[in-house]
Structure 1
Amino acid sequence: MTKKEFIAKYCENGGFVSKAEAERKLNALLDTIENILVDGNEVNFIGWGKWEVVERAKRKVRNPQTGRKMTVKAKKVVKFKPGKKLVDKIAN
């Protein structure tokens, strides 16, 4: 689903006046989550899921095309762990 399709569905389910209003609200939510993660904090919606920033350690890998061994640098990544309610809904 693209962002445009998501906004249309969000507008329909959220009872917004227009798609433009729904898009502004969605962008505000995404910007807020992004800023919280950039600050090094986590976002936790109990039952739905949790986003957190984790440090991935430096590791050795093998290039499948050449077979040469390489080292991938350590980096920060965003990790999402779904909550129980979300997992249960998807399972049914």
Structure 2
Amino acid sequence: MLKSDLISKISEDNPHLFQKDAERIVNTIFSEIIDAMASGQRVELRGFGVFTPKKYEARIGRNPRTGESVEVEAKYIPRFKIGKPLLHRLNGKG
């Protein structure tokens, strides 16, 4: 599903909303999730899952083409842990 599909679905399911309003709602939700994770917070969406920023420390890596050692900077990677209701739905148990 694309973001535009989600916006269309929300505006179809809520005829009192204009498509522009549905787009603003989706953009606001995504923006808040991004802002929370950027500040190091975890984001929990009950029944869906939990997004957490995970820090990877700096390390010495290897360039696969040349075999040369390269320095890899510390970075944060978003992690997602699926919620039970979503897991059961994906596996046909609910």
Structure 2 length as normaliser, TM-score?
Answer: 0.78
Task: For 1:12-91, list aligned pairs within 5 A.
Answer: 12-13=12-13, 15-16=14-15, 17-91=17-91
Residue 62 of structure 1: how far off its partner (Å) = 2.7
* Identical residues among aligned pairs (%): 31
Deviation of the 1:44 alpha carbon: 1.0
Whether 1:2 and 2:20 are equivalent positions in the alignment is no
- Alpha-carbon distance in structure 1 between the residues aligned to 2:20 and 2:28: 12
Structure 1 gaps of 5+ residues are none
Q: Structure 1 length normalisation: TM-score?
A: 0.79
Structure 2 spans left out of the alignment, 5+ residues: none
In the comparison of the two structures, how many residue pairs are matched?
91
AA at the equivalent of 1:9: K
